[in-house]
Structures are given as C-alpha cells and as structure tokens.
Amino acid sequence: MWRRVPSQLRALTPKCNVSSSEISRPCVALYLRNFSSQFGNASTKKEVELGNLFETRLNVSVNRHASLTSPYKVYGSCLSQDTTMVPSFPRRFITTGAISQVSEDASASSLTTPRIKFKRLDKTAAHIMQILDKEAVQEVRAQSEIPDIKPGYIIQLKVEVPENKRRVSTVKGIVIARRNAGLNTTFRLRRLVAGVGVENLFHLYSPNLKEIKVLDKKKVRRAKLYYLRDKMNALKKH
Amino acid sequence: MAALSRSLISHLRIFSQCRSMSSQVERIIEGKPGIMTPNSKRTGAIAIKCGMTALWDKWGERIPISILWLDDNIVSQVKTPEKEGITALQVGCAHKKEKHLTKPEVGHFRAQGVPMKRKLKEFPVTEDALLPVGTSISVRHFVPGQYVDVAGITRGKGFQGGMKRWGFSGMPASHGASLSHRSIGSTGQRDAPGKVFKGKKMPGRMGGVQRTVKNVWVYKIDPARNLMWVKGQVPGAEGNFVFIKDSVYKKPDISTLPFPTYFAQEDEDVADLEPLMADLGDTDPFMAAD
C-alpha cells in the first residue's frame, strides 16, 4: 500500500512545487530548486511521517514545524491524500495534536502538509558538501574566465604571490597532471627555470591566479605525463 | 525543655518555608533579548559535521574549513533549580520518526510539545540565559569571528598500538633491534614496586570517545541554510553530531553576541539573508612584514 502509482505522484508534484515555493525555510527550497523534477519521479515509497507529533486523523493536514530546514523533498499537499490511506493512524495523537497544533500554527510557516524523507546523516552531509562545492566553483567561474586545462597544454600564467610582496610573476610551462576535486582542483606545471626542471602545483580556482592563457595543445595519450621527468630534451623548446 | 521548643520552632519555620515555596508562582521564562553580563553563560547548539574543504580569504590566504550544519535546533526542556536543581537547557537537533524512537522518548517529546529530535544535549546556562521550550536556535546564535569550543565523538581507529595511540617512538629499525620495532618497551621498574601502574599507556582501542577542540574560529555563517564554516578540524566523522558552545578561553566580545539567543524578526525572510563572513581586518597580513 505504500507503493503508489508514479503517475499519481506526478500529478501531485505540480501542487507540491507550488506549495514548496511558499516554504520560507530555504534549505528545502534550495534542494527543491535543484532536484524537484528528479525527486518527483524517483520515489515510489511513501512512508508516512510517523515522527510527526502533530498529525491527527481528524485533521488531514500535517504541520511540519521548523523541521523544514531539513533538506529533503517536501511533498506538499501530497500527504493529505496519504493520511486517508493509513487507517492505523493513531487516535492517540488526537489529544496532543489539537493543543500543539495551535501553538504550531503560530510558529510554523503557512505550509500545509510537508513531509520530509530521511537519509542517513552522512549521506545528507555529503550532499550538502557537494552543493556547496558546486556553488563555490560557479562563483569563481562567474568572476574570472578560466579556460579548459588538460594535460599536454602549454600554459602561460600570471600568478600573484602574496608571500613575495604580491609580485605578479609570469609562469610558462606544460601541464603534466590535473586533479579534479571541485574547488580544490589542482594542476601541475612543468617548466625549465634557469636550466633546471621545476614542477609547480597550482589551484585552478585560486584568487592568486590572475590570468591563464593557453598557448599550445600537444597531443598526448595519457592523463598524467610523468614520463616527461625523464625526457629533459623535450622541454627545451618551451 | 528549651531545646525541645527551639527544635520545634525550627521545624515549624522549615515547614512554613516549604509551604510558601510551593505556593510560589512558577518561573516564567520569556524569549526576549537580554543583556549579557560577564558572568552569564549562553546555550550551545548541536550541529552535524558535513565535511572539510579549504577556502581562500580576501587576502588570498588558504584556510582549512570544516562545515557544520545546525539542523533545526530547538529547546526541548528547561531545567530550573526549583524542579531539577540545575539551570540548563536541553537542546534537540535533527528529525526522527516516531517509529524509530522508544516510547519513553516519544513521551518526553510529547510532554514538552516539541517535535521528535534525533539528538538531545543539555547545556548548562545561567539563569538569565534561559529560553522557553520550543525556541529554535539558529546559526545566528554564533557570530562570525568568534571562537567556539566544539566537542564530538572522535573517529574510531580500532585497536591501535603504542606508537599511534600514545605517540611512542618505538625502537630503531636496524642496528640489531630484535623483533621489537614498534613495541612499547619497558612497562615499569623491578621488585619495587613490582607491578605495572594503573593507567600505563598500552595498546588498546583508540578513538570513539568524546573530545573537545578548543578555540575554533568561526569564519562564515549562512543563516539561510543554517550552515557554519569554522576554521580547522572538528572531532568526528562526517554525518556525526558535534556540540558547539562559546569558547571558554578566548572569550568572545559580549556586546556582539545575541543574548540569550538570536530572535528572528517577523518581517525578516530567512531565505534572503546573505552569508555573513568574519571580519579579517584591513591590514594585509603579507604586506605587514615590511
């Protein structure tokens, strides 16, 4: 009885989205903005929120108090239909529900029937980290234009070194490795400095990287060009 | 005779005092902003450790960051000296379904009239910092730039040897050291005392205990999503609960802290607020060396 037909859910989701926009708790709004369509079709299992203290049989609307900051899908008024499906819903809730609902209405938002799904907290944590990371990357990308950097490209950088009295130095070399880690994406540059091979690690989204220019693209068949460390003559040209 | 009457009088006095105390009006706790004194202590909050990253501050310096998520903290019980004997606030965090809680726990939440929470923690406070049941504590309770103490259950490392657990240096890898490169070595003296003292550092289970990291600097807070960015490490694994409170050693400036907690105004829409960052000062730390 928990597996509802997805079409019913889809029919309900427009309503859900509307009600969700009313949510003043932005965490939910944030997640919904990103994942509303995905969630609407994905879940078929509807476990009714038993933890909700204020749910009563008489009153079909389930008030969700400040728990709206929990980042999971809020099923808006979908739940109203669900409660009728659950006859085992406790009469024991009736007494407290009536009293607490009055206080709830005062404090909670005007949302009628939100329902929150739970995942394991570490999954939620990882999800939050992912979102924050993406936001940070987008913010940096919006500010300054960062070209695509792949191994084998010959790059010229203008780096501002804060430790060295903020001198802006020009660095030219070949990218031998790139490590993707969201905001902490780094790439290694190998160059010849005064006859000595030097490898530098730069953070792609660092505010100290003032300008990146791609000069040339070499054809390579590898993601990490560590073999260049043995081939010093190849670097002479650059 | 006189002694008897004296004792009678004292008993009567106590009895009348009891009578008067029980007829006293119950303490009314209001959720109103107050003035913080140097002796007052505010509540802490419970957060979930989300993970770690690194950010660049406005001077281009890289700061290691832990992200903590204050998921829906709410005051679930107030402990007063009259009833419980201490002044404390019990704070709850994160949701829990009723079917996942035991009946005594459910009864507790229902009696107080708060939603079901996953984690409860008591924070001792002073009397002027008491909050009514049901007050939500948002991340704006803390101010960016203040120092906090963060406590949490550390990551479990299992059964570990002396070198990892206690930082012993072990024995040389060569030069004849036989079969004991990482062992703990000697455990005591000889006939006197003739035993190994209790508490001798030995291999055992490491981690999984509550530890507090002190003087953690709050870098940024996001009131819209109840997130807090702090500098450095925080005990525990991702997804675990940590308890945050004002630092004991590096006390924050009293005037900047919301006391007893931050009460959101009615017209404020939480979604619109921008993240607040700590003030890093005007002098460039790199150029200051000149």
Task: List pLDDT tens digits, range A28-67.
Answer: 444 444 444 444 443 444 434 433 444 444 444 434 444 4
Whether the model pTM is above 0.90: no
Residue B50: closest CA among chain A residues belongs to which residue?
A125
Cβ neighbours of B99 in A, within 8 Å: 50-51
Interchain CB distance below 8 Å, A128 and B69: yes
* Whole-number pLDDT of residue A85: 41
* Whole-number pLDDT of residue B122: 92
- The confidence band for A1, taking pLDDT boundaries of 50, 70 and 90, is very low
Identify the bridge partners of residue B218 per DSSP, sorted by sequence position.
B230
Interchain CB distance below 8 Å, B286 and A30: no
Residue A74 has pLDDT above 60, yes or no: no
- CA of A184 to nearest chain B CA: how many angstroms apart? 7
Size of interface A-B (CB pairs under 8 A): 131
Nearest-angstrom CA–CA distance, B281 and B138: 26
Residue A154 has pLDDT above 70, yes or no: yes
* Whole-number pLDDT of residue B40: 86
* Whole-number pLDDT of residue A56: 42
Nearest-angstrom CA–CA distance, A199 and A173: 9
Residue ranges, chain B, pLDDT below 70: 1-25, 266-273, 285, 288-290
* Whole-number pLDDT of residue B95: 86
- CA of A162 to nearest chain B CA: how many angstroms apart? 6
Cβ neighbours of B284 in A, within 8 Å: 162, 166
Nearest-angstrom CA–CA distance, A177 and B93: 43
Residue A92 has pLDDT above 90, yes or no: no
* Whole-number pLDDT of residue B257: 84
Residue B139: which residues within 8 A CB-CB, separation 6 or more?
A: B45, B70, B221, B222, B223, B226, B227, B228
Angle at B119 between CA A22 and CA B37, to 5 degrees: 85
Listed ranges A6-20, A25-39, A154-168, B182-196; the one with the highest mean pLDDT: B182-196
Give the pairing of strands A186-193 and B158-160: unpaired
Interchain CB distance below 8 Å, B50 and A129: yes
Residue A112 has pLDDT above 50, yes or no: no
Cβ neighbours of A45 in B, within 8 Å: none
Find the mean pLDDT for residues A122-148: 89
* Whole-number pLDDT of residue B192: 86
Nearest-angstrom CA–CA distance, B70 and B93: 8
Least confident segment among A10-24, A201-215, B259-273: A10-24
H helix runs in A43-120, sequence order: 78-85, 92-107
Nearest-angstrom CA–CA distance, B112 and B78: 10
Nearest-angstrom CA–CA distance, B69 and B49: 6
Q: Does B271 touch chain A (CB under 8 A)?
A: yes
Interchain CB distance below 8 Å, A30 and B49: no
Q: Does A92 touch chain B (CB under 8 A)?
A: no
Interchain CB distance below 8 Å, B51 and A125: yes
Count Cβ atoms within 10 A of the Cβ of residue B115 and give its class: 0-12 exposed, 13-18 middle, 19 or more buried.
Answer: buried
Count Cβ atoms within 10 A of the Cβ of residue B275 and give its class: 0-12 exposed, 13-18 middle, 19 or more buried.
Answer: middle
